[in-house]
Chains A and B, each alone.
Chain A
Amino acid sequence: MSENRVSYTLDSTLDTVNSAEATASEMATKAGFADEDVMKIAMAVREAAVNAVLHGNAYDPGKKVTLDFERTGDGLVITIRDQGKGIDLNAIPDPLAPENLLKTSGRGIFLIRSFMDEVEINPSQAGTEIKLIKHVHGSAVDGKEASQ
């Protein structure tokens, strides 16, 4: 496997979340991102990994999380897949709505979208795949999602 691409499959544990965050930080640094962007990428990956482990696979030891990190010409593409039931995007409340501000959960995907340039979420009955893209020099949609 090229050093520009790292893929691995891990158990549905908190160790996987920490490992995903650490790998994201390392890959983002190698890709040339500034420290603040490295932190944002690592945090977005951590949130996506938490969703995969906690909400997707529900800590099921029989289900795995697959992580794929690829350094492209102008940035980093990270894909995280779980084997859960598939997230219902319509069921995610707006965490910025006044009635939701004091909820104790529901901010993960919002933070992911805030920190990455492009976010694609593809749920299916076989699980959820989320693709996160960050360009080294930002983009016209810097700080916002391009799609979902």
Chain B
Amino acid sequence: MISVIEVYNAVRDLANKDQKGFVSPEMFNSLLPAVQSKIFGKIYDAALQGKALRRSGADLGGEDSLYLKAKNFISEYISSGILQQVNIPSIYDDSGVYKKPENLNRIISVFNDESVNVDLIYNSEKISRILNSNLSAPTDDFPIGLVSSEIEIFPRPGSDVYINYYRNPTSRYETAGARFAAGDIDYRRQPSYSAQTSGSLVIPNPFDCRAFDLPAEFRDEVVKEICMMIGVSLRDNVLMSYGASQQ
């Protein structure tokens, strides 16, 4: 988790120290979903870099491995649930159509309540060939799922179907409240900064603030990314080049 209050203060001090009012909370908030999405993509990039290092023999071993570090970051986003069946007419017989979870980023696995894994196919061109194959045709022991805008499973499952997936990042509670602890995930909101003004003073409201749903290691990246965006907005070359050069 990255505190949105700390990030706001850092950005304000970098961009706005002598020109109070340029970075308003509203403007700051409008940038946060895009920044979070970009940094989330960088976690996958880190995994790719770790893989390249490992292949070249340059990655550190054991718990110091960069690849494992990136995988550890990604594991924060693993979620699971029961797939909801939908009544959509299918051109194929004997299949069940299921709705993807709303916050789905990438599917890890789909399985039934007997832990039989559903083999996932992303290529709709191949599914009819698979269904007609006398070798690869899906069976109850080897079901196949076609992933498109929905997930269509062959043959039609007789029981609940579960999914493990990477969710999209949302936000985390900045501070503990009556029903949640600091750092708990708020699935409904994106990160946002909230403040109350008292005269000339601007006081953050931590109960209404939502922190970034990103690993703390990426705090510096978040600040720089926001600085670069604000630099573009303010036509401030110094701020823009600071953000761009440091990445």
Our verdict on whether A and B bind, yes or no, reads no
Task: Report A's interface with B, CB cutoff 8 A.
Answer: none
